[in-house]
Structure formats: C-alpha cells, structure tokens
Amino acid sequence: MSFHPHDVRRRAIAAAVLVLLPLILLGAAFFRTQVIEHEQFALQSETNRLRPIPLPAPRGIIYDRHGRVIAESVPGYSVSIIAKNEDSLRVTLEQLSNSIELTQRQIDATVRRYRAMPSRPALVFSDAEFDMVSVLEELRTDFPGLVVQSAPKRYYPDGAAVSAFVGYTAEIDERELTRPEFADYTAGQQVGRDGLERSYESLLRGREGTRFVEVDARNRIVRERGARTELPAESPPPLHTNIDLDLQRHVVTLMDTLQGGIVALDPNTGGVIALHSAPGFNPNRFIGGVSFQYYDSLNTDPRKPLYNKALKGRYEPASTYKLATAAMGLELGLVQPETRMPVACNGGISYGGRYWRCWKRDGHGNVDLRGAIAGSCNVYFYQLGRQIGLRRLLAGGVDLHMHERSGIDLPGENPGIFPETIDYYNETFGPRGWTEGSVAMNLSIGQGENAQTVTNMARFYTALATDGHAATPSIVKQDVPNRVKVLNLTPEQMASLRLAMLDVVSSRGTAGSAQVQGIQIAGKTGTAQNPHGPNHAWFVGFAPVEDPRLVVAVMIEYGQSGSAAARVASSIFERYFRAPTAPIPVTENLE
Amino acid sequence: MLRRIVGDLPLVLTALALTAYGVAMVYSAGQTDVRSTATGLWQMQLFWVAVALAGALVASRLSVRVMDWLTTPAYVAMLALLALTLILGGGAGTAASTKSWIGIGPARIQPAEFAKIVVVLMLAKVLASRREPARSLLDLWLPAIVVFMPWVLIMAQPDLGTGIVFVGIFFAMLFWSGVPWQLLVLLASPAVSLILSFSTWVWGAWFLLLLAFVFYHRPYLLEGVSIVTANVAMGVIAPMLWDRLAPYQQNRLLVFLDPSRDPRNSGYHVIQSKIAIGSGGWFGSGYTSGSQKRLAFLPEQHTDFIFAVVGEELGFIGVMVALGLFALLFLRTVRVAERANDPFGSLVAFGLLSSWFVHVVVNIGMTLNLMPITGIPLPFFSYGGSFMLASWIAVGILLRVSMEGRGRAGRLAI
C-alpha cells in the first residue's frame, strides 16, 4: 500500500474536504429549516399542541320595561371530548356510556358534530346536570381528552308565562348550518329558536371566546390553562322590551283555565305590553334539548300549546270588525254618527230571498250608528255594508292591512285572510256562484272570507285609539315607532266612534258586565261562529277612552260570547291602570 | 503526566465535550409532560459513560502491535458472536422484532456495535499487509470477504443501519489504502444502478456515463465487462427486488421521498422531527422545555431522534455547536491517521473515523429527512450502553495510535 508521507498528506487533505463538505451541507439544511422556515414550523408546533376550546358566550339578557328579567343566562356545564379521529371518539363515548347515561342517539349526534368540525372538541352535552358533572370529574384521569367546562345556559324565570313571545334556544341543526345567514355558526353552537330569541338572534348572540389547552401526541390534555392567552367570551348588551312582566303574569293568570290569545299594545308606539297564547309551555324545558316525553305531551294536547294563538291563530273577527265597516261608512260620507238605516232592526232583515237574522231576536229597533255599535246590531251593518258595496268594503279592508301581517317583531306570524279583489269570489265560487249583496252583508259584520290574528286586530284598534294611525306592534323598544295613517276621519268622527265603543262597555252595550269603576273602557265584543264547537269570543278595546294608553285584544277559543272576553280585558285594564303595587321605576341601564 | 495518560488532549476534550452534551440531551429527553420510558435513563447513561471511559483507558493501554496481534482472534470471535446473536438474540425497545441484543449475565449488549471496530481492525490488517495498492477489482477479493461475512450476519438480524455503516467503512478504508478513486467508482457503480433504475431514463443516462468512464479509464477487459454486466443486471433486477420488498419497506422508501404521503404512520416520525427542529429557530425553546418532546410528538427522542431535541431546545446555535464538535473530532482523527507510525494504525484510525462519520451524517440527515430512516444512533448522544462503550473504545484506540504516531514514539512507556 502506498503510505508514502506525500500520498498520505494528499489523501488527508482530500479526506478533510470530504468530511467537512457534508457537515457544511447539513449546517445549511438546518439553517434553512430553523431560520428561514422557522415561522412555518413554529406554527405547526403550536397547532400540534394547542387545542382551541370554544368558550360559549352568554346570550344577551332580555328585560321587561321595568328592568325585570325575562331571559337570562345562568351557569351550566357543557361536556365535550377532544379526539384524534372518529374511531377513537366512538371508543371513548362507548366507554363513557358505562359510567354515565349516554344513549346511542347522543353518541351519534356527538360524532356528527365532530365530523362537522373536527378541529373543535366534540360536544357531548351542551347542558349537563351537576350530578353528571361530578361523576365526570372523577373519571377525568381515565378520559384524558374530556373537557368539562362551565357554559352559560338560557333561563326564563317566568317560564310558561313568557312562552308566547320569548322563544327558546337550541343547538343549531345541520339544515340551518347550510343557510347563508348562519355562515359564521358551527355545529354545537346555540341558536335562537322562535320568538325574540330568533328574531333578535344577531343582537342576543354573544361573541364566542377561545381558551387553549395543551395536549400531548395522543390528544390527552396536559395543561388546562395558561398555554396561550385566552380570548374571553363577550356577551352582548341587553335587550329592552316593552313587556310589562307584571301585566303579563296577570294575563297568564286570567287565561289559566282558558285557551286563546291576548295582545296588549301601547296604541301610540305599538309597544307590546303583554302577549300570551294560552295554554303556554315551559321554554326552560327546551334548553339543552327537549325531552321526547315533554314534546310529545305538548303535541298531543288538544289545546295545542305549541300553536301560538296570538300570532298564528286566525279567527273570524266577527262584530269587532264592525268598527272597520263603520269607519268606512264615515270616511265615504255615507253615514254620520246620527244616521239611521232605512229598515229598523226587529230581529232580522230580508234580502235576496233570505231572512238575515240579527243576533238579538227582539231587535234593536231604529238605532243610529252609535247605537248600532253599542248594541252590535247586525241589521244596521247589513244595510251599511250594502251601501258601501263589496268593492269598497274590500278596498277598505286592504287599506286596514287585513290581508297582511301586523309586522310584529316575532317570527311565524300568519297574515290575515282577506280577499283583495272580487276576483277572489269569481275564482272560488264561479262567476255565478255568489252575489255581491250577500258577500257584502257578511263582510260588513266581520264574517265570510275574513280571518284575523289577535295581533292584527290589536293593531287595527291602535288606529281607533289614536288619531287614525295604526302602530306596528313591537316587543322590543324601538327608537321611532312605526305608525301608518289608516283611518282618514275627522277628530269628531273618531270621537263618535270611541263614544260608541264606550257605550259597548256600559249598561247600554254588549259588554256591560265588563265595566270597571273609574276606568272608561271602550271596545267591541265579537262572537265568531265556530262550526267545530262553541263560538269563539272576541273583545278588542282600549282605555281610558279620553286618552287611550292601552289597547287589549282578547280572543278566547270556545268562549261562547264576547262579553266573556270583555271581562278578561277589563281585568287587564284594571290591573294595568290600578296596579296593586306601585310599578317598579324604569331602570334604563340595567346591565 | 496528563499528556502521558491522555496522549491527544484535543481529541479527548472534544470527545468529552460531545459526551457531556449527549448526556445532557438524554437528561432533557427524559423531561416530558407525559409518562416516558426515557425519564430516568440519564442516570443509566452516566453509568455507561463511566464504563466507556474505563474501556477507553484499557484500549489506550494496548499498543498498536498488540492490537494487530489480537485482530484475527477478535475477528473470528466476533463472527461467532454475531452468529450466536442470530440464534439466541432478541429485540429491545422499538427494535423489538429484530435479533440485535444478546444477554451476557444481567447485561444485554449489541454485538454489532463492537463488530464495527473489529471489522475496522481486520480490514486494516488485510489492507496493510499488501505491499502494492490494489490495481484491479480482483485484488480486492480479500478485503471484500472480510467485510462481507459480518455484513451478511448483521443484515440478517436485520440491522440495515449497521449494514450501511459497513459499506461506508469499506469504501473509506479502500480510499485511505490508496486504491485509485476510479476503481472505487467502478466498484460502487452497480449500487448506483440499483438506486437509479426506478427511472429508465435516469438509469440509461447513468449507464452511458459509466460506459464513457470505462473507455476512458480502460480497466482490465474482464473487469470492465463484469462491471458493465453488473450494472445491467442491477437495472434489470431492481424492479423485481422492489416487488419482493414487504409493503412496509416499500412504504418507508416512498415516505423518504415524500413524508406527507403517509403523515399518520410512516411519515409521522420525520414530520414531527422537522417540526421540532424548525420550531427551534435561532436559539431554541430552552433546555428541557421543547414542547414537541415534552408532549411526546417527537418519537424516539432519547435514541434515534435525539438530535431533534437539540434542534428544538437549543436552536440553530446548539446545532452548530454540535456539528462543530463533530467536525473537530473528525479533523483530529484525520490528523491521527495521517501521523500514524505504520499503515495498520493509520488505516485503523481512518476506519474508525469513517464509522463515526457515517453515523453522524445519516443520523442527523434523517432528522431533517435528508436520509431515510434506518435506525442509526448518533455517537456520544443517543442513549445506549454498547454504542457509548464502542465509541469510547474507538477513542482509546485513536489515543494509542496518536501516542505512537510521528514525533511521539520516544515518549511511549510501553
């Protein structure tokens, strides 16, 4: 072998170069990875070890007009699991089901939530009972990916009393998630369902926060807090409503054994002071998922608690509509308050080969408009309706928004049923299947093709209670009330109608039993014919007559006669104007 | 006095510094937030360092002549031990399915680690005995057999990593013995063919290059023909070999080319290793506080991937210090080989250097996915007694060769 020193020297230099070159290349590779690409790898290292845990935000508080709580958030617990993949999540859930009550449906729902958003901990229970939480706390070491944390839970202190307008919250479902309005929602989050919770979702929903837990390679939580600064959840400002909880509770008590809908409005602003559909249901039972038993019991109840009788239920307005007919007659100049009709009421009137009965067998005699309203004389209004004519009756009803929704700030309201033109009759009955006279006579007393929600009738009566402006009902306080002039009558004509309605609630009228000492109530009863059973009872009115501050519309299903509804209404007026306890002062900034 | 015991102070200091650095990293590798088998191992490693230093002292007491004399019996004994390991051996740790460990009393050793040194000695003895450097491939039959026999036994364990180290040692020592580089190229060409045959075009280009080289260099006819034939044969059998590989073996090679093709399993290790190193930045996350390591994202953090802990916790600076120490060690060893008194000692020194060098480049390259994952440990760093002892025996041998080297012989006591 050649081990001459010169050769060795040459090879040693070559060897040194051959040895150093790869080391320098390695150094360069480390420089690239550690210095140039550092940001990217630092980020990957963070995502490796940090798991964001959403901190649900408390929803905004809903207050009544006096700062009393209608809806609030109370401490609750949510349970979720950080899982590496779907299989390990299923295994964990199966194991958990040995220790706590966990149905297959809940397991499947959890896996669905995981699939929808694998980067978030899969939510198992959004509202866990304290008993379960304490069991889970003990199991924590066996289930290292388990996240039990406090989660605000919606609570309605008045329960069923506010069920007609407050709604409830529930976990957002897959169908909703596909809609653009819920683009920034993710599976497992709570969303408002129905009522105020739905219509003011964007204002009530808080901003979700995030905390970071540190996990190891197997997704076991190593550090609960302090791994990275938390983004706290933010709750939105509260929502102030026009509701008077005291009156609302009173309304609910009144309707305790009855079924129907009640709306109480401030005629000047449209502010909803009370709104109820009886019987109600307990919205608290819907939080965190309604139980099958409770939902089933609501659905099979023949009184239909889930059907909102103030917003959705549509009833023939019956005699409460006579004020519309009267207003049209006055507006058209066909009648004056003192005008009498050609035929006096002696229990009925013949027309078109048929005898049209008045509700009062003995007849009202020869009454003027005021007397006709007070006594609810059908014969008078049959004749007035014929004078107005069908086309003008329809146009007048359309002007009063009888074919529309009241526009209340609640979801699910039904529009009134009212024909906009006579084409409706041609299409429905055929051109020869009806006569204008009969249809006009029926419409003029609030029967026929006319069905209204309690809310829409209340809206119409705000026009009667004011200078002819109808106010859009609004649960939440509005800066500027939405009012539309629907009655173009002189102040004298308005006053005459109000006086006539005052007579209704007097010994001369149909609601004499509803009088309240010291409060001048004006209104109109109605008895809607019901082919399915006893007649429905209406009363819509306002008080005090000189300066109306409250409009009340009462609809009692199977209530038989309007005076029953009037008595309920008068109790509401009495409560409102003579609260047994002094009203709690308004506290505007009750945060 | 110190010089008499230590002989080559810079070499010993560098090796000591690397060892201290390594033990510190083994300690850090055990500092995790989740239960880890590595937690108490730094104490074991300290014990092994003590054993290794003693081993180095003993090795440095043996004169080069004695080493020469011991080489053949040691080689025979080693072959026997390797064969015995195949029969009796078992796995350990992550290499549980292999047969690399053998129990001697309570201790378990990895004969392959010591085989590297013995092969270096035997190869040095064979190469040093030739008066003329090899001129043709046929002249290399004896060195080839010296390496081939233990290589087969080790590959049967299987221990691919050590197999690669043997190949590195073989070529490096041929180079140091003065074999012309052209011959080494021809010798290596079939292996290149095997690798390049994945693409017919690339292989074709390589083959033309080889033909040109053969015509230019003009080796013996038989030699030239057999080299060309071997290259063609490799190109042909490569696809068949590939098909015969187990799917997991194929996967490993494919994952080396693209770790993201299997990020959960085969690619996981190297992806996590790169994340750990890259997140270290200039100065690292701080000693013992690397999150990739603490939270068990980093695999084998105390053995094969210990350098990723260096990268994560001590950053680019820490990496450069380690690479610098290795560079010092290598250059000092080249100096020992250059100044050795006789061809045997010189060849032994260079062989030991090449063994370390292959370990360092393959192991560190692996943490950045520049090399495939072969399970080669990092000298002085990776946890393990046999390798620490073998590395320090190598240091001891180098010290001896250095002490007997030029300008020193007179001062030797023995």
What tens digit of pLDDT does each residue of A497-529 get? 999 999 998 888 888 888 888 889 999 999 988
Q: How far apart are CA A273 and CA A249, in angstroms?
A: 11
Q: How far apart are CA B53 and CA B64, in angstroms?
A: 19
The answer to whether A294 and A288 have CB atoms below 8 angstroms apart is: no
- Would you put residue B23 in left (φ > 0), alpha (ψ -120 to 50) or beta? alpha
- A566's CB contacts (< 8 A; 6+ apart) are A504, A505, A510, A511, A513, A514, A523, A525, A539, A541, A554
Nearest alpha carbon to residue B360 among B396, B325, B398, B395: B325
Neighbouring CB atoms inside 10 A of B35's CB total 8
Neighbouring CB atoms inside 10 A of B47's CB total 12
- Rounded to the nearest angstrom, the minimum Cα separation between A88 and chain B is 14
Interface predicted TM-score (ipTM): 0.90
pLDDT of residue A221: 80
Chain B within 8 Å of A223 (Cβ-Cβ)?
Answer: yes
Neighbouring CB atoms inside 10 A of B93's CB total 12
Nearest alpha carbon to residue A521 among A494, A495, A550: A550
Q: How far apart are CA A100 and CA A490, in angstroms?
A: 72
Chains A and B form CB pairs within 8 A to the count of: 146
Comparing A308-317, B190-199, B332-341, which segment has the lowest mean pLDDT? B190-199
Q: Strand pairing of A168-171 and A69-81?
A: unpaired
- A120's CB contacts (< 8 A; 6+ apart) are A52, A54, A80, A113, A186, A187, A188
Q: Does A200 score more than 90 pLDDT? A: yes
DSSP string, A319-352: GGGHHHHHHHHHHHTS--TT-B-SS-BSSEEEET
Nearest CB partner across the interface for B281, out of A2, A38, A218: A38
**B 201-240 → A contacts, CB under 8 A:** none
* Cβ neighbours of A223 in B, within 8 Å: 33
pLDDT digits (tens, 9 = 90+) for A408-448: 999 999 999 999 998 999 998 888 888 888 899 999 999 98
* Cβ neighbours of B328 in A, within 8 Å: none
Q: Percentage of chain A surpassing pLDDT 90?
A: 54
**A 31-50 → B contacts, CB under 8 A:** 31, 33-35, 37-38, 40-42, 44-45, 48-49
Q: What share of chain A is helix, strand, coil (3-state, %, to 5)?
A: 40, 20, 40
The answer to whether the CB atoms of B33 and A216 lie below 8 A apart is yes
The answer to whether B147 and B123 have CB atoms below 8 angstroms apart is: yes
Q: Does A585 score more than 50 pLDDT? A: no
Nearest alpha carbon to residue A467 among A501, A500, A493, A499: A493
Q: Which one is predicted more confidently, A506 or B411?
A: A506
Question: Which of B291, B314, B347 to substitute to test the interface with A, most A CBs within 10 Å?
Answer: B291
Q: What share of chain B is helix, strand, coil (3-state, %, to 5)?
A: 75, 0, 25
Q: Does B411 score more than 50 pLDDT? A: no
Q: How far is CA A436 from CA A348, A392, B144, in A?
A: 19, 11, 118
pLDDT band at B95 (very low <50, low <70, confident <90, very high): low
Q: How far apart are CA A535 and CA A526, in angstroms?
A: 10
* Cβ neighbours of A9 in B, within 8 Å: 338
pLDDT digits (tens, 9 = 90+) for B190-210: 888 877 777 778 888 888 888
β-sheet bridge partners, residue A55: A209
- B268's CB contacts (< 8 A; 6+ apart) are B262, B299
Q: Does A256 score more than 70 pLDDT? A: yes
The answer to whether the CB atoms of B279 and A42 lie below 8 A apart is yes
pLDDT digits (tens, 9 = 90+) for A540-566: 999 899 999 999 999 999 988 888 899
Closest-CA residue of A relative to B353 is: A19
Q: How far apart are CA A378 and CA A363, in angstroms?
A: 9
The answer to whether B9 and B354 have CB atoms below 8 angstroms apart is: no
Which of helix, strand or coil describes residue A570?
Answer: helix
Q: Does B5 score more than 70 pLDDT? A: no
pLDDT of residue B90: 67
Q: How far apart are CA A580 and CA A567, in angstroms?
A: 19
Chain B within 8 Å of A549 (Cβ-Cβ)?
Answer: no
- Rounded to the nearest angstrom, the minimum Cα separation between A39 and chain B is 7
Nearest CB partner across the interface for A34, out of B277, B330, B364: B277
**B 274-333 → A contacts, CB under 8 A:** 274-282, 291-292, 294-297, 311, 315-316, 319-320, 323, 326-327, 330-331
Question: Which of B301, B338, B341 to substitute to test the interface with A, most A CBs within 10 Å?
Answer: B338
Chain B within 8 Å of A16 (Cβ-Cβ)?
Answer: yes
Stretch B374-380: mean pLDDT: 89
- Rounded to the nearest angstrom, the minimum Cα separation between A13 and chain B is 9
B105-123: burial string, b at 16+ Cβ within 10 Å, e else: eeeebbbbbbbbbbbbbbb
The answer to whether the CB atoms of B274 and A33 lie below 8 A apart is yes
The number of residues in chain A equals 591
pLDDT of residue A29: 94
pLDDT band at B9 (very low <50, low <70, confident <90, very high): confident
Stretch B374-382: mean pLDDT: 90
- Would you put residue B109 in left (φ > 0), alpha (ψ -120 to 50) or beta? beta
